[in-house]
């Protein structure tokens, strides 16, 4: 008989939930070797023995006492949606820490299966777990898995299907039975008030005694129950000498200690732990931060040298051949048709696609850093820098993620616990150089700095790295000012697990690289194409004007803005329009230049050299870095802050900062150059 049911994957951050989700559903969700990769639930399906199973991948959480946005997503789903089967994914090498969450799931009487994941890594550390005994002690099935190698996935599906028919009967620890008896009066009152059914009244009562946020919301507006909960909490505190929440946490750890002694055998660990050896260098107090910047410097050098100059050159040549071929075909076509194909499609969209090899290269390198486990160390070493200016260490995570895409960086702030830290993280993330800005840098750096060196260091790569540094410096400075003016609150602390180093697989790197670059290509064929068509229409009308001239609608629009940008050294209507269009999508800046100058990327650099100097070109890149976030980023700021006021503030203050920075660079630079 066909059964449709739901499996929820839960567990601590970085335990391999998303790897299991991908293995179960065949999805290609992003997997990173650092905590906090999943910040919202993901859904997929799998058919197994005629059953259709919905699989939900939830953000990582260390306990049911959720404090950050991503943890709240996970906990609320478990408590409110009540999935048929809960697969608790556990990192085998960190069983002791992971079991705390497991005990809380068992206390809730959920239908739990333990997926003991990454058992291969535990064995390498000479950690051996008696899975049969672990299952007996907890009263739930235990399946060993190595998700990255697809091991144990079939057994996990078989066990889940069996659990749907015959749920597990978890052991209720003694401490939990004791607390259930103590909470009896409160549970009865909850049942009588209709807040909870008889079966769940005890659970809600204990959660209230623990001051669990979700339980508190259930009695909000019931002063009698709130008073009773506080009274019972005081009574139990007096009896046990500890508040109920602390008492339960203490008892859970005692129980976990007994489980570890009974079920885990540890042999002498390998004397030379590779992770520890590498960490002595990369997380060193003095070496860590300089090493991080050296790695990022090399990343941009390789991206420019190999990705843009070498591989991008082949694509540029291909577009040149295509342009000449198409021009030959359209020689007898109407002028407007020739202009649309050569200026809008080839000159506009084509000039963006030329940078695809560069994006491939950069995303390959970033994926390698993520999957290897280095990015978690980067956040760790940056924590000192963040703390020095009063920011939370996890803000560094948002900034690192934002170097791929500001939207992802802003979403990663969901892992921050306090509103203050989260708001600051959201407001400073757009200052980080994202991949969409990189083609603009590459175009200008190639046009004005290619072939020049400082010593043996190529100047073009150095210029792009300086923009990356400048973005971080402005973000940190803005965060410092915001934390001391608009968001004065208590200091919170940074706790982050450092995962072991892992050698990324080529398949995983290629998958991540393609997935991220695919969105760039898709944007070129949709958003940027739509923008280019609109810009092209504005550039050829009104009828009778020379296409792409100052007399066109586009030229007149740019002329209105140009005087404002003139102090920054790029007060032409073409540059003004390009920046205006860039608010829609940063990549569209290049497409706009290609269109208004009527040339593809191959000749665009030479044309730009006629309208910019190296100094004004650098000021333009700084403006591109700092001025208004793109439309997608503005949208996610509105969604995450749920505030028009803060969204407008983000746009306006970045516009002002961008303009001031560009003007300062051009005016001060003019004194020396």
Beta bridge partners of 137: none
How much is the pLDDT for 574? 93
Kindly report the three-state secondary structure assignment for every residue of 413-482. HHHCCCHHHHHHHHHHHHHCCCCCCHHHHHHHHHHHHCCCEECCEEHHHHHHHHHHHHHHHHHHHHHHHH
Among 34-43, 289-298, 346-355, 421-430, which stretch is predicted with the lowest mean pLDDT?
Answer: 34-43
Please give the average per-residue pLDDT across 463-473, as a whole number: 92
Task: Provide the pLDDT for residue 453.
Answer: 87
pLDDT over 90 percentage in the chain = 31
- What is the C-alpha to C-alpha distance for residues 87 and 11, in angstroms, rounded to an integer? 8
User: CB 197: neighbour CB atoms within 10 A?
Assistant: 10
Q: What is the pLDDT of residue 211?
A: 82
Is 60 exceeded by the pLDDT of residue 490?
Answer: no
Q: Tell me what pLDDT residue 613 has.
A: 95
Q: What angle in degrees, to the nearest 10, is found between the helix axes of 588-596 and 438-449? A: 50
Lowest mean pLDDT among 192-196, 198-202, 251-255, 436-440: 198-202
- For the residues 102-109, what does the mean pLDDT come to? 89
Model confidence at 343: pLDDT above 80? no
Helix ranges, 549-630 (H)? 553-565, 573-582, 588-596, 601-608, 614-626
The pLDDT of residue 670: 94
> Would you state the pLDDT for residue 297?
87
Pairing of strands 127-129, 264-266: antiparallel
More confident call, 629 vs 420: 629
Residue 146 per-residue DSSP state: B
pLDDT tops 90 at residue 128: yes
* pLDDT 10s digits, 52-77: 999 999 888 888 776 677 777 777 78
Is the sign of the CA dihedral 466, 661, 361, 318 positive or negative?
negative
Name the residue among 134, 228, 161 with its Cα closest to residue 4. 161
Q: How confident is the model at residue 30 (pLDDT cuts 50, 70, 90)?
A: low
Mean of the per-residue pLDDT values for the chain? Answer: 85
Q: Does residue 243 have a pLDDT over 80?
A: yes
Cα separation, 545 vs 553, in Å, equals: 10
Cβ atoms 444, 464 nearer than 8 A:
no
Residue 155's pLDDT is 95
Average pLDDT over residues 284-305: 87
Between CA 155 and CA 333 the distance in angstroms is: 64
Beta-sheet pairing, 42-48 with 264-266: unpaired
Model confidence pLDDT, tens digit, residues 261-278: 999 998 876 666 778 888
Lowest mean pLDDT among 105-109, 474-478, 663-667: 105-109
- Residue 275's H or E segment, with its range, is helix 274-282
Q: If you average pLDDT over residues 335-349, what whole number do you get?
A: 75
**Spatial distance between the Cα atoms of 52 and 463, rounded to a whole number of angstroms:** 54
* Residue 6 backbone phi and psi in degrees, to 5: -120, 135
Is the pLDDT reported for residue 1 higher than 60?
Answer: no
The pLDDT, as a whole number, for residue 494 is 59
Q: What is the mean pLDDT of residues 585-599?
A: 84
Mean local confidence (pLDDT), 631-640: 88
Residue 208, pLDDT score: 86
pLDDT score for 659 = 97
Average pLDDT over residues 643-665: 95
**CA 187, 192, 195, 196: dihedral to nearest 10 degrees?**
60
DSSP-assigned beta bridge partners for residue 454:
457
Write down the pLDDT at residue 509: 85
- Would strands 51-57 and 42-48 be described as parallel, antiparallel, or unpaired? antiparallel
Q: Is the peptide bond before 302 cis (omega within 30 degrees of 0)?
A: no
Reported confidence tier of residue 614, pLDDT bands at 50, 70, 90: very high
**pLDDT tens figures, 535-574:** 888 888 888 777 778 888 988 999 999 999 999 999 999 9
Q: What pLDDT does residue 535 have?
A: 83
User: Among 477, 585, 485, which residue's Cα sits nearest to residue 535?
Assistant: 585
In this model, does residue 602 exceed pLDDT 70? Answer: no
Buried b (16+ CB within 10 A) or exposed e, 604-634: bbebbeeebbbbbbbbbbbbbbbbbbbbbbb
For residues 206-235, give the mean pLDDT.
85
Higher pLDDT, 271 or 432: 432
Quote the pLDDT of residue 200: 74
| Top-confidence residue, 13 or 624 | 624
pLDDT score, position 658: 96
> What is the rounded distance in angstroms from the CA atom of residue 332 to the CA atom of residue 328?
9
Angle at 509 between CA 405 and CA 374, to 5 degrees: 70
Measured CA to CA, the distance from residue 383 to residue 476 in angstroms comes to 12
C-alpha of 286 from chain center: 28
pLDDT for 627 beyond 90: yes
Tell me which range, 328-332, 431-435, 436-440, 619-623, is most confidently predicted by mean pLDDT. 619-623
Task: Please list the residues that pair with 116 across neighbouring strands.
Answer: 90, 144
Parallel, antiparallel, or unpaired for β 112-117 and 85-91?
parallel
Residue 28 scores a pLDDT above 80: no
- Distance in angstroms (rounded) separating the CA atoms of residues 416 and 424: 10
More confident residue, 67 or 397: 397
181-195, 323-337, 435-449, 547-561: the lowest-pLDDT one: 323-337
Residue with tokens 């007994």: 258
């Amino acid at each position: 008989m066909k059964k449709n049911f739901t499996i929820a994957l839960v567990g601590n951050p970085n335990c391999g939930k998303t790897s299991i989700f991908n293995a179960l559903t065949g999805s290609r969700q992003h997997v990173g070797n650092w905590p906090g990769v999943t910040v919202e639930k993901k859904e997929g399906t799998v058919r197994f023995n005629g059953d259709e199973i919905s699989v939900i991948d939830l953000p990582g959480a260390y306990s049911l006492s959720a404090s950050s946005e991503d943890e709240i997503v996970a906990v609320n789903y478990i408590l409110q949606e009540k999935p048929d089967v809960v697969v608790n994914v556990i990192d085998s090498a960190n069983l002791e820490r992971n079991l705390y969450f497991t005990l809380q799931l068992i206390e809730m009487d959920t239908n739990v299966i333990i997926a003991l994941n990454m058992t291969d890594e535990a064995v390498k550390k000479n950690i051996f777990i008696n899975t049969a005994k672990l299952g007996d002690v907890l009263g739930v099935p235990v399946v060993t898995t190595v998700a990255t190698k697809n091991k144990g996935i079939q057994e996990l599906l078989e066990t889940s299907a069996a659990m749907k028919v015959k749920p597990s009967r978890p052991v209720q620890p003694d401490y939990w039975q004791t607390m259930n008896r103590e909470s009896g009066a409160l549970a009865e009152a909850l049942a009588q008030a209709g807040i909870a059914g008889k079966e769940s009244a005890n659970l809600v009562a204990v959660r209230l005694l623990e001051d669990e946020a979700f339980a508190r919301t259930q009695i909000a507006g019931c002063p009698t129950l709130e008073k009773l909960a506080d009274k019972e909490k005081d009574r139990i505190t007096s009896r046990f000498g500890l508040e109920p929440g602390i008492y339960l946490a203490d008892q859970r750890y005692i129980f976990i200690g007994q489980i570890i002694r009974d079920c885990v055998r540890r042999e002498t660990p390998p004397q030379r732990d590779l992770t520890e050896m590498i960490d002595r260098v990369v997380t060193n107090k003095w070496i860590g931060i300089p090493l991080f910047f050296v790695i990022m410097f090399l990343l941009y050098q390789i991206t420019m040298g190999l990705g843009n100059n070498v591989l991008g050159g082949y694509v540029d040549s291909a577009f040149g051949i295509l342009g000449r071929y198409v021009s030959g075909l359209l020689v007898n076509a109407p002028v407007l048709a020739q202009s649309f194909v050569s200026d809008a499609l080839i000159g506009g969209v084509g000039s963006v696609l030329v940078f695809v090899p560069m994006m491939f290269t950069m995303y390959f390198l970033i994926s390698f850093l993520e999957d290897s486990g280095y990015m978690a160390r980067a956040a760790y070493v940056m924590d000192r820098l963040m703390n020095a200016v009063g920011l939370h260490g996890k803000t560094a995570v948002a900034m690192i993620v934002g170097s791929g895409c500001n939207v992802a960086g802003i979403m990663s702030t969901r892992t921050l616990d306090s509103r203050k830290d989260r708001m600051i993280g959201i407001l400073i993330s757009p200052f980080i150089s994202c991949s969409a800005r990189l083609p603009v840098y590459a175009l200008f750096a190639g046009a004005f700095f290619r072939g020049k060196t400082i010593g043996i260091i190529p100047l073009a790569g150095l210029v792009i790295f300086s923009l990356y540094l400048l973005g971080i410096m402005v973000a940190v400075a803005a965060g410092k000012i915001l934390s001391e003016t608009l968001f004065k609150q208590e200091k919170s602390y940074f706790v982050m697990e450092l995962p072991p180093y892992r050698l990324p697989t080529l398949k995983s790197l290629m998958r991540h690289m393609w997935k991220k670059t695919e969105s760039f290509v898709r944007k070129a064929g949709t958003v940027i194409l739509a923008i280019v068509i609109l810009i092209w229409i504005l550039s050829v009308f009104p009828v009778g004007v020379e296409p792409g001239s100052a007399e066109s609608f586009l030229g007149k629009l740019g002329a209105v803005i140009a005087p404002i940008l003139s102090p920054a050294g790029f007060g032409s209507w073409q540059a003004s329009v390009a920046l205006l269009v860039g608010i829609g999508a940063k990549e569209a800046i290049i497409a706009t230049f290609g269109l208004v100058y009527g040339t593809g990327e191959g000749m665009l650099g030479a044309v730009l050299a006629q309208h910019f100097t190296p100094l004004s070109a650098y000021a333009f890149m700084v403006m591109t870095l700092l001025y208004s976030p793109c439309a997608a980023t503005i949208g996610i700021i509105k969604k995450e802050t749920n505030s028009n006021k803060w969204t407008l503030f983000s746009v306006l203050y970045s516009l002002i900062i961008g303009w001031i920075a560009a003007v300062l660079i051009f005016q001060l630079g003019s004194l020396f150059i």
